[in-house]
Structure 1
Amino acid sequence: MIIKTTLFVLLFSLFVPAQLFPQKTSEDYLGSWYTLGINHRFTEKISVTTYAELRFYEPISNYNLIFTSLSGNYHLKQNKTLSIAYAYLDIDSVFDEDNRPNTTENRIYEQYNYKHKLGAFNVQHRFRLEQRFLQLADKNELQNRLRYRFSLKYNINKTLFLGIKEEPFINFQDQAFHENRFFIGAGFHLFKHTQLQMDYLKHHIRKKNFNRIQIGISILTDYRKSKSHVNQQKLH
């Protein structure tokens, strides 16, 4: 009896349509984004930002993409900045393991950043125009898009803060409104120039919806203060 039952279960699993047991897709998993950004401030007008981002389809496995960038920033005023940057991406767009080559991207973007206060909130507007040089499996392609990110930050105390970000994308090719990102989370000022932020991200892209956790570290190195400190030492 046991042998017959075992054979029946085995045959059932082999011949019953797979649709009765749907496989999970990338949308069913809680993925992760890990980021590191370092801003090097050299003068009142000039700074350089280095940035790296690693994404997974799952919390710590199933590689999605790596993003690295270098941007030069010109500070018009304390709250207004112009930037130009280069970025490189290696993208695995398949959820499971596959033998297809990854998509690589060389990206150039121009950016304007504006900050101001709104009551107890710190507000930030970021406008970014991107030129994306994509190397796909069968062709090379140039895509252009515009991104606008609106951010609100509320400081609970000197250590803890809350934040919300909304970022729609406008694609200049086929589907115009093809992507949107919504972040909500909290951050901690670990040290004077270092902060840790943890966000929940709802990522909509090309009719798919992903749930992601983003953990990021931001560091500021300010050489203006170091230079001023050296000059003061010389004066004494």
Structure 2
Amino acid sequence: MKKLLSLCLLLSFFTFSETFAQNNRRHDTNYNGWFMYFGTHKLTDKWGLHTEFQLRRYQVVSHPQQFLPRVALTYSLSDRASVAAGYAYVRTYPYGDNPAREAFPEQRTYQQLQLRDQQGIFILQHRFRLEQRWIKFPGAEDYTYLNRARYQFRATLPLQGATLEDKEFYLGLYDEVFVNFGPNVTQNIFDQNRAYAAVGYRFHKDATLEVGYLHQHVAQRNGIWFESNHTLQVGLTYNLDFRKKNPAPQE
């Protein structure tokens, strides 16, 4: 009987705690615009240089949200697999109903494994990324170190035939989940989720343009505020080939 009573009290405590946590949560809805450039440039048959620049705006274009340049060294394991290691700088500005007190910087290193596959007419991609983050939160004198893991699954569907060719449209879909781990994780292990759908146009194999919608669900570190960010995304990909060209044979 005592064990049953103790169990009931324990269940009641967890139920009350969860109900309180749910009632204590606050939600912030924002409308943003992300304008992006990506390029993975071939240095040799195996090695490459990834460059990236993202200008993220609050209220679509009106106010700054984030500024993010990224660079990485890539290595091709095969036609379907590659690895990368790189660095990103992120500057986040106050935005939304629960803004930071001031803009703050983040220094980030990361490692990545990317796998590609073809199933019927679908082009599939899996991206696994580990991030080491040093964030100087507003009012702090020192940087806080955080770890984060990300997994993205993407599918590309040609819209003008069984394969994606030059000068054709396609549909791009992805979902990406972010999870915090290690020291200094506060109220949430779950960091955010991104769900994305876009229409793209392939100019040629090294140049594409995508315009789409991203829903970003973000859990802030205090465990109380949750963001629902409706985001217009415009992304240009343009890859360059810096490999030495063999001279044409002379006749």
Bin of the TM-score, shorter chain as denominator length: 0.7 to 0.9
Q: How far is 1:176 from its partner?
A: 1.2
Q: Pairwise mapping of residues 1-236 of structure 1 onto structure 2 (< 5 A)? A: 27=29, 29-95=30-96, 100-139=101-140, 140-157=143-160, 158=165, 159-172=168-181, 173-174=185-186, 175-206=188-219, 207-224=226-243, 227-228=244-245, 231-236=246-251
- Equivalent position amino acid for 1:38 in 2: G
Q: Percent identity?
A: 28
- Equivalent position amino acid for 2:153 in 1: F
Q: In structure 2, how many angstroms separate the alpha carbons of the residues matched to 1:85 and 1:48?
A: 10
Q: In structure 2, how many angstroms separate the alpha carbons of the residues matched to 1:148 and 1:75?
A: 19
Q: In structure 2, how many angstroms separate the alpha carbons of the residues matched to 1:61 and 1:232?
A: 51
TM-superposition CA deviations, 1:7-46 (whole Å, max 9, x none): xxxxxxxxxxxxxxxxxx961x431000001111111110
TM value normalised by structure 1:
0.82
Q: How far is 1:137 from its partner?
A: 1.9
RMSD over equivalenced CA pairs, Å:
1.9
5+ long unaligned stretches in structure 2: 1-26, 220-225
Q: How far is 1:118 from its partner?
A: 1.2
Give the corresponding residue for 1:8.
Answer: none
Q: In structure 2, how many angstroms separate the alpha carbons of the residues matched to 1:36 and 1:194?
A: 11
Contact 2:91 2:105 in 1 (8 A): yes
TM-superposition CA deviations, 1:80-104 (whole Å, max 9, x none): 11100100011113338x9943110
Q: How far is 1:191 from its partner?
A: 4.0
Contact 2:94 2:102 in 1 (8 A): no
More helix by share: 1
Q: How far is 1:177 from its partner?
A: 1.4
Contact 1:26 1:57 in 2 (8 A): no
TM value normalised by structure 2:
0.77
CA separation of 1:99 and 1:179: change in aligned 2, threshold 3 A: closer
Q: In structure 2, how many angstroms separate the alpha carbons of the residues matched to 1:188 and 1:66?
A: 25
Give the corresponding residue for 1:4.
Answer: none
Q: In structure 2, how many angstroms separate the alpha carbons of the residues matched to 1:190 and 1:147?
A: 30
Q: In structure 2, how many angstroms separate the alpha carbons of the residues matched to 1:160 and 1:94?
A: 34
The size of the alignment, in residue pairs, is 206
Q: In structure 1, how many angstroms separate the alpha carbons of the residues matched to 2:35 and 2:203?
A: 17
